[in-house]
Structure 1
Amino acid sequence: MTSINDKATALLQLHQPGNPVILPTVWDAWSANLAAEGGFAALTVGSHPVADSIGKPDNEGMSFEELLTRVAQITAAVDLPVSVDIESGYGQTPERLIAGLIEVGAVGLNIEDTVHSEGGRLREAQEHADFVGGLRRAADAAGVHIVVNARTDLFIKQVGDESDRVERAIARMKLAAEAGADSLYPVGFHSDEVYQRLTSELPLPVNAIADPVRGEKASYASLGVGRVSFGPLLQAALAVRANQLLARWV
C-alpha cells in the first residue's frame, strides 16, 4: 500500500459501526512497528503520548512542526494508514494543517473543540463545525480524502448541565457531520445507555476511547461503535509494566 489516496480510502472503509476499527495510539516508530506487527490495519498518533515522548506538555505544549517530525518517522516505519491527533489545530489554518499532514504521509486527523491557545475555551458548536468544514475543503482541494474525526470535549470538561449534555453533544456533532466530518468522537467513558444513544442518533461512525487493559472490542461492537482508540492509556499501561520490571533492579 503505497498511494496516499489508497491509504485514505482504506482508513475510511475501516470505519464500520458494529465492527469497529481498532486504532492503537502510537507515538514513535517503535510503538508503530509494535502495533503493525500485532496485525492492526491502521494506527493513530496521539498528541499526549508524542508530547510525553519528546519532553513537552500535552495541550499543544509542542508545536505542529514537532508533531509532524514524529509523524514522518512513523509513516516511514510502517506501511499503514495513519491518523494524527492535531489537538485544536496548533493555531494553524486548515490549509496548513492539511498540507502538513499530507507532506508526512498521514491520511486522517482528530480535531478537538478545546482551544488550548485561548485558555482552554470550548469552541462554539458552529465555530467548531466551521473549522471542520475548512479542513474538509482543504483536503478536497489537495485531492486527498483525509479522514476527519471531529471530537467534542463536552463530556470530559463537564460543560453545562449534565441533564442535557448528551443532547447538546449530539447537536454539536451533527453540525460537524454536516460540515464534512467522517467520524465523531464524544471523548469520555460513557454508560452503555449513552453509547447506544450516540451510535443510534448520530449519522456517522462513533469513535470510543478504550482502556487497552480492561476494555474489550466485542463490548464496543455490541454498542454500535465504529472506531476505537486508546488516547494516552496504552502508553500509560506500558509504563506501569516497565516500572514493574525496573523495580526488580533498584
Structure 2
Amino acid sequence: MVNQTDKALAFAKLHVKGAPLVLCNAWDAGSAKAVAQGGAPAIATGSWSVAAAQGYADGQALPLDLLLQTAGQIVGAVDLPVSVDFEGGYGVEADEVGKNAARLLETGAIGLNFEDRIVGGDGLHPVADQARRIAAIRAAADAAGVPLFINARSDVFFQKDSLPHADLMEEALTRAAAYAKAGANGIFVPGLSDLNLIKSLCDAQSLPVNIMRMGGGTAIADLASAGAARISHGPGPYFAAMETLTKAAAQLYQ
C-alpha cells in the first residue's frame, strides 16, 4: 500500500513547468471517486464546492471538524494523493494555523492550499505575517514526517480590479519569494489569466505556478506553453455537476 509520504512525493513530482498537473476539483468522497475513475493522477478539493455541498458559504463558514471529516472520507475513498483547500488555515496566529495543519495531516491529506487573504476581513495578510504562517505549517508537517505540498495561494490579483494586473506583478513576485523561503512548494494565483503575465511570473521566480481555469477559459495547452505547472478548476466542476442534476430533475418533474 502506498503510504502518505510516498503519495506526497509523487504529488510533488506531478508539478512540471510546461507539462502541468491538471486537477478537476472534487468536493466529497463520491465526486473524488468519479474524478479518479476519469483518470486523474491526483485529487484536489475546492473550498467553495466543499462548503456548498454541505450547505455552507465559502470563507471558512464550514466548521473545521466537518472539513477534516470530509478530507478523511475523500482520502479513504481513493488511492490517489489528496490535496485539500485549507483556505486561511482556520486561524490567524501562526501557532494556531500550525496546529490545524497537523490535524489535516492526520486525515491522510498530502497537500493543501493556504491563502493570504484575510478571511472575514479586508485585504491580504502582510507578507512577513503570511510567511510566518506558512513556516508554521511547514514545521507541523516536518514534525509529522510528511513532505506536505504547501500550495501558497496569493489573492494579490483579486485586490484591485481597477488596476491592470501588470501593476501587481511586483507584489506577486515579492510574495512568491517570501513564501518559498518560508517553506511553500508552489504559488497559486487565482484571477491571473493574461498569458504574457503568467509567463512572466513562471519565469521570474522558482515556485511551480498554479493557475485557476474557469469554465471553457484559456486552453490548457496555452497555459502549459506559458509555463504553468498546475491547472485547477475551482468550483467549476461543482457548478457543472449541479447544473446537470437540476436538468435531470427538471425532466422528471415536467
Q: Deviations over 1:203-233 (max 9, x none)?
A: 1100000125444321221111001111111
1-structure distance, mates of 2:240, 2:122: 27
- Aligned-partner Cα distance in 1 for 2:218–2:28: 23
In 2: Cα distance, 1:26 partner to 1:107 partner: 15
SS in structure 2 opposite 1:181? coil
Matched with 1:54 is: 54
Q: Which residue matches 1:202?
A: 205
**Amino-acid identity (%):** 37
Distance 1:241 1:152 in 2: 32
Which of 212, 222, 225 is the matching residue for 1:222? Answer: 225
Q: How does 1:94-109 map to 2 (within 5 A)?
A: 94-109=97-112
Instruction: Name the TM-score, length of structure 1 as normaliser.
Output: 0.93
**Distance change in 2, residues 1:133/1:160 (3 Å):** farther
- Tell me how far apart the structure 2 counterparts of residues 41 and 137 of structure 1 sit (CA, whole Å): 27
Q: Which AA in structure 2 matches 1:187? A: P
Distance in structure 1 (CA, Å) of the matches to 2:132 and 2:69 = 28
**Residue of structure 1 in register with 2:148 after alignment:** 146
Give the aligned partner of residue 176 of structure 1. 179
TM-score w.r.t. length of structure 2: 0.92
Q: Partner residue of 1:132?
A: 134
**Structure 1, unaligned runs of 5 or more:** none
CA displacement, residues 107-141 of structure 1 (integer Å, 9 cap, x when unaligned): 00000011214x24410112111211111122112
CA shift for structure 1 position 42: 0.5
Tell me which of 148, 155, 177 is aligned to 2:157.
Answer: 155
* Contact 1:199 1:224 survives alignment (8 Å): yes
- Alpha-carbon distance between aligned partners in 2 of 1:242 and 1:79, rounded to the nearest angstrom: 27
- Partner amino acid, structure 1, of 2:11: L
Report the aligned-residue RMSD.
Answer: 1.7
Q: How is 1:188-199 mapped onto 2 (pairs within 5 angstroms)?
A: 188-199=191-202
Deviation of the 1:16 alpha carbon: 0.5
Match of 1:80 in 2: 80
- Length, aligned pairs only: 249
Q: What secondary structure does 2:157 align onto?
A: coil
The 3-state SS of whatever aligns with 2:16 is coil
Q: Which runs of 5+ in 2 are unaligned?
A: none
